[in-house]
Amino acid sequence: MHHLDIHDLKASYGGKPVLHGVTLSADKGEVVSLIGPSGSGKSTLLRVLIGLTPPDGGTVCVAGEGVDYGHRAGLRALRRRMSIVFQQFNLFQNMTALGNVAIAPIKVHGVPRREAEARALELLASVGMADHRNHYPEQLSGGQQQRVAIARALAVEPEILLLDEVTSALDPERVGEVLDTIRTLAGSGITMLLVSHEMAFVREISTRVVMMDAGQVVETGTSEQIFAAPVQARTRSFIGSII
């Protein structure tokens, strides 16, 4: 049994199929990266996993338990186990960094405020943002906001973290600090599904890489296999085009 098991997952937008039966898995603590051209379905796969886009078919199991995307209770249970961070950090503008990180545990999970704020401060410290706890988003750089967003995603103590192009909206000089944050997390036992254009980083950090194209998995392998010796022609041409 894998920590995350995705089997034959299908999804569509307005009747147009976009995911054509995706199967992949991740063991606990793995960093599995999704690569592939724009439009290949990477974001859609993450959106389905977190329950933002309903699946048309297939199954998702977390630690052997099937996720019920059709019901509120199923989604609520899922969001204790899985979090997502997007390219656009979407912090609450009227809340401090600390408030942003503490809010979900307080409002969604009923954690007492004092406890939630103490935990939020620890999380901010873990992403190097404790000194900025009382800053509002507009007082922070993009990289700092994204680190707060990562701390916020971790506040529900997810087992699985989904990261979708989290450095793509940042100024180049701010990318490194967010990658450093992810690198630290990668050794912490959390299971990650990562989508990133930072290919050197993907190559370095991934335990496995999944090549997607046109809503399907083309090839899966270790980082070295996919980057140094891809088997499929589609993977070779994609890797060739980006390196």
Of the candidate residues 9, 30, 35, 43, the single one contacting ligand ADP (CB under 6 A): 43
**Smaller CB distance to Mg ion: residue 80 or 197?**
197
Minimal distance, residue 40 CB to ligand ADP, in Å: 4
Q: Is 192 within 8 Å of 185 (Cβ atoms)?
A: yes
**Among 8, 27, 28, 39, which residue interacts with ligand ADP (rule: CB under 6 A)?**
39
Cα→Cα distances 147→6, 88, 103, 234, Å = 28, 12, 16, 34
Residues 30-59 that bind Mg ion (CB under 5 A): 43
Looking at the Cβ atoms of 38 and 94, the one nearer to ligand ADP is 38
Structure-derived torsion over alpha carbons of residues 185, 191, 193, 196, reported in degrees to the nearest 10 = 20
Find the binder of ligand ADP among 3, 30, 42, 97 (CB under 6 A). 42
Distance of CA 41 to the CA centre of its chain: 14
Q: Which stretch binds ligand ADP (CB under 6 A): 39-47, 79-87, 155-163, 197-205?
A: 39-47
Q: In 3D, which of 159, 150, 149 has the Cα closest to residue 65?
A: 159
Q: Is 13 in the site for ligand ADP (CB under 6 A)?
A: yes
Please select the residue that binds ligand ADP; options are 4, 6, 9, 18, rule is CB under 6 A: 18
**Axis-axis angle for helices 142-154, 172-186 (nearest 10):** 20
- Window of 42-50, 58-66, 91-99, 199-207 that interacts with ligand ADP by CB under 6 A: 42-50
Q: If binding is defined by CB under 6 A, does position 146 make contact with ligand ADP?
A: no
Q: How is residue 15 written in tokens?
A: 């009747």
| 167 near ligand ADP (CB under 6 A) | no
Alpha-carbon dihedral of residues 210, 212, 216, 217, nearest 10 degrees?
A: -20
Among 15, 38, 93, 243, contact with ligand ADP (rule: CB under 6 A) = 38
Report, in Å, the least distance between residue 41 CB and Mg ion: 8
Give the whole-angstrom CA distance, residue 27 versus residue 78: 17
